[in-house]
Structure 1
Amino acid sequence: MTITITAFSKSPDQGMGLARDTRVRWALEEAGLPYEVRLVSFRAMKQRAHLGMQPFGQIPTYQEGDLVLFETGAIILHIAEHHAGLLPNDAHARARAITWMFAAVNTVEPPILELVTARIFEGDKPWSKERLPLVHDRIRNRLRQLSTRLGDADWLDGSFSAGDLMMVHVLLRLRLSGLLDEFPNLAAYVARGEARPAYQRAFADQWAINKPAAKAR
């Protein structure tokens, strides 16, 4: 059965690979699975047809026959559990990889998204300048903990897994902030993720859709 995912018809990041469909594309590329992409406008995301697949009006969604999923963690876990390449065979290592998937979206990503909110949606508020240093400190605290855990290893728990895929993509949101550069081992970790051929293919596919918008900047 053909796998179809949804993505922005015009991504807010203008093709920088930060939209969450990139995570799903990357996972599918790592698993060697062909897939199709259905582009969705912001208007269409709020209409009944899309809301029937994603009740919160977001992207991406994943459809394979009668199966429809949303939330990137759930989608990538489904892919990883049914196809080789993203989870270890050893049961304990497999459980740890899944733990890192949850850690990426539940522990590391929230303060990073708070920074996006503070800059884009609250940047014009009179208290914005006072709030930003607090947000930065919360992010630094998480990065410090993650940096200590990673140490000089290439990946979080032995070989590359879906846990690394999720974590690398979450950390990519920090590139323009400069915060990631304060932790050289994390910056190198992200670079290793980006260098993977599967990530390169996923990025190229979404960039091809958004490239004209990027040129217009």
Structure 2
Amino acid sequence: MITVWTYDWVPNGPRGHVRDIRLRWALEEAGLDYVVKSVPFDGRGPDHIARQPFGQIPFIDDGEVTLFESGACLLYIARKSEVLMPRDGKGEADVTQWLIAALNSVEMVSVPWWFIDKPGQGDNPLGGWLRSRFERLDAALGDRDWFAQSGFSVADIMMADTLRVPLKRGALDTYPKLIAYVERALARPAFKKAYDDQLAHFAAGDRARAS
């Protein structure tokens, strides 16, 4: 059974977006057994650093395997289930490239854009760069439902999660195909369960801190 490690608590703002949700979503899609355990949000100690050198989450344990970084964890989980990644070399390569594209070509722009985006303070200096990424992404998706040729995969878990904040902030308003793509992904029961479970986890953290 895979153990997914996350924080015991986070402030309200990031709830529903903390990156253990990517792993929860993948495990739900794959139907793999897992448990969720916590490390303290405050006072991250040497045991945490030994498993995640940047003091972040998520990381996983699976027998003798301990792995950090959500992208690496998603690829590890995907290789356990044909639901998330095809078994032929060409199909696996296609899924892998789109997962890495979500991290290296989209999220590396969208996250700093998000952090410096302040309503009422004029144009975001990263706005043009982000729009160029979305234009290329929109063209690449074309008329397909999912990015990999084989269909829904772990690449879509990463890509759709990466696009959730830009969708909320209106950055996808001129890209209806990308809006429909994200909404299609988030309508999946596995995402809904992962999302609800994460919110419940942090609500339990609220109660623990209050007591």
Q: Is the 1:168–1:190 contact (alpha carbons within 8 Å) kept by the matching residues of 2?
A: yes
SS of structure 2 residue aligned to 1:87 = coil
Q: 1:109 aligns with which of 87, 107, 110?
A: 107
Residue identity opposite 2:26 in structure 1 = A
Structure 2 counterpart of 1:137: 128
Residue identity opposite 1:10 in structure 2 = W
Among the aligned pairs, what percent are the same residue?
Answer: 38
2:173 & 2:105 partners in 1: Cα distance?
Answer: 20
Structure 2 counterpart of 1:189: 181
Structure 1 residue 9, shift from structure 2 partner: 2.1
Greater shift, 7-16 or 135-144, is seen at 7-16
Structure 1 residue 7, shift from structure 2 partner: 1.5
1:55 & 1:133 partners in 2: Cα distance?
Answer: 32
2:113 & 2:39 partners in 1: Cα distance?
Answer: 26
Residue identity opposite 2:104 in structure 1 = N
- 5+ residue gaps, structure 1: none
Q: 2:139 aligns with which of 141, 148, 152?
A: 148
Residue identity opposite 1:111 in structure 2 = V
1:137 & 1:118 partners in 2: Cα distance?
Answer: 14
1:97 & 1:183 partners in 2: Cα distance?
Answer: 23
Structure 1 counterpart of 2:21: 22
SS of structure 1 residue aligned to 2:126 = helix
* 2:26 aligned with 1:43: no
Superposition CA RMSD, Å: 1.9
SS of structure 2 residue aligned to 1:181 = coil
- 5+ residue gaps, structure 2: 207-211
2:11 & 2:110 partners in 1: Cα distance?
Answer: 17
Structure 2 counterpart of 1:97: 95
Change (3 A) 1:13 1:88: farther
- Aligned length, in residue pairs: 203
1:148 & 1:38 partners in 2: Cα distance?
Answer: 40
Structure 2 counterpart of 1:118: 116
Change (3 A) 1:111 1:12: farther
* 2:198 aligned with 1:201: no
Structure 2 counterpart of 1:68: 66
* 2:158 aligned with 1:166: yes
Structure 1 residue 208, shift from structure 2 partner: 1.3
Q: 2:55 aligns with which of 54, 57, 78?
A: 57
1:209 & 1:81 partners in 2: Cα distance?
Answer: 27
Residue identity opposite 1:55 in structure 2 = P
2:38 & 2:173 partners in 1: Cα distance?
Answer: 34
Structure 1 residue 118, shift from structure 2 partner: 1.1
Q: Is the 1:97–1:163 contact (alpha carbons within 8 Å) kept by the matching residues of 2?
A: yes
Q: Is the 1:9–1:39 contact (alpha carbons within 8 Å) kept by the matching residues of 2?
A: yes
Structure 1 residue 175, shift from structure 2 partner: 2.5
Greater shift, 203-212 or 73-82, is seen at 203-212
1:194 & 1:77 partners in 2: Cα distance?
Answer: 20
1:116 & 1:47 partners in 2: Cα distance?
Answer: 29
1:45-68 alpha-carbon deviations (Å, 9 max, x no partner): x31010010000000010112211
More helix, by proportion: 1
